[in-house]
Amino acid sequence: VGQTLDLPTDKTHHLIGVLRLRDDAAVTLFNGTEEEFGARLKVMDKRRVLATIVSAESPCRESSLSITLWLGVCKRDAMAAALRRSTELGVSAIQPVLTDFSAVGSKQVSKLAEKWQQVVEGAAEQSGRTRLPVLHAVSDLQTLLARAMSDPAEARYVAHPGGGAFSPPGENCQRCLIAIGPEGGFSTNEIQNMTGTGFTTVSLGPRILRAETAPAVALSLLQYMSGDLSG
């Protein structure tokens, strides 16, 4: 408290150019590690804004269930929407995955990584998250499955139309992993490889969901079953 920060240029533009805030406006800042700070602005010019911290607290808004999402890389707009909604719904970590049906190649993905990070940060700010989800570097499915053998996740699910009912991960489960494919889902071979690595196939209902909708449905179900949506 009492510390004055020189805000980044992109935040300055958003506060002054978009939100039209002026001197002494009250804002809330967060550092991505479960702390939140009340601050007052000092506008130096249209490119520079200072924020003086006037209060600090550690509100409890994060889920008790740590969820890692393996997200099949899909088309640009759908990917951004999936990242945004997953962040809003409290995902702990997101692992973009190149799959058989991914419409974006590895060269294109490398150019999109920075944009994806911006989407996650913006969604965390908008939704009042106090912990920033970890956005991992993109990887192919086979590499991830090899690593999964030593992953501490206590429950592993993969969304698939032929899967069973979504059952609770267990009362004492603290970590789980859910895999969602891109447009077209996962291939038959990919599903076989995943079930052979301890994944349980689960259905997200009788209707066909868009690539950006499926993660939101899966995360909502997991958060509901963990008690995170009970208020």
| Tokens matching residue 213 | 């909708």
Tens digit of pLDDT for each residue in 152-198?
Answer: 678 999 999 989 998 878 777 899 999 999 999 999 999 999 999 99
Closest CA to 188 of 160, 208, 209: 160
List, in sequence order, every residue forming a beta bridge with 201; answer none if it has no partner.
158
User: Cα separation of 85 and 87, whole Å?
Assistant: 5
Average pLDDT, the chain: 90
Minimum mean pLDDT among 50-59, 96-105, 166-175: which range? 166-175
> How is domain 4-57 classified at the CATH fold level?
Ribosomal Protein L25; Chain P (2.40.240)
Parse the chain into domains and list their residue ranges.
4-57, 66-226
- Which pLDDT band, with edges at 50, 70 and 90, does 30 fall under? confident
Residue-level pLDDT at 231: 62
pTM of this structure? 0.83
Architecture of the domain delimited by 66-226:
3-Layer(aba) Sandwich (3.40)
3-state helix, strand, coil in the chain (%, to 5): 30, 30, 40
User: Cα separation of 185 and 187, whole Å?
Assistant: 7
User: Cα separation of 81 and 84, whole Å?
Assistant: 5
Is the confidence at residue 200, as pLDDT, over 70? yes
User: Cα separation of 26 and 19, whole Å?
Assistant: 12
Instruction: Please give the C-alpha separations between residue 50 and each of 12, 29, 78, 126, 140, in angstroms, as whole numbers.
Output: 9, 12, 35, 21, 42
Residue-level pLDDT at 229: 85
Is the confidence at residue 207, as pLDDT, over 80? yes
How many alpha carbons lie under 13 Å from residue 103 in its C-beta half-sphere?
11
Same fold, 4-57 and 66-226: no
Residue-level pLDDT at 156: 94
Q: What is the rounded average pLDDT of the residues 101-107?
A: 83
| Tokens matching residue 3 | 């510390």
Residue-level pLDDT at 182: 96
User: Cα separation of 189 and 182, whole Å?
Assistant: 15
Residue-level pLDDT at 119: 97
Look at residue 140 and give its three-state secondary structure.
strand
Residue-level pLDDT at 116: 96
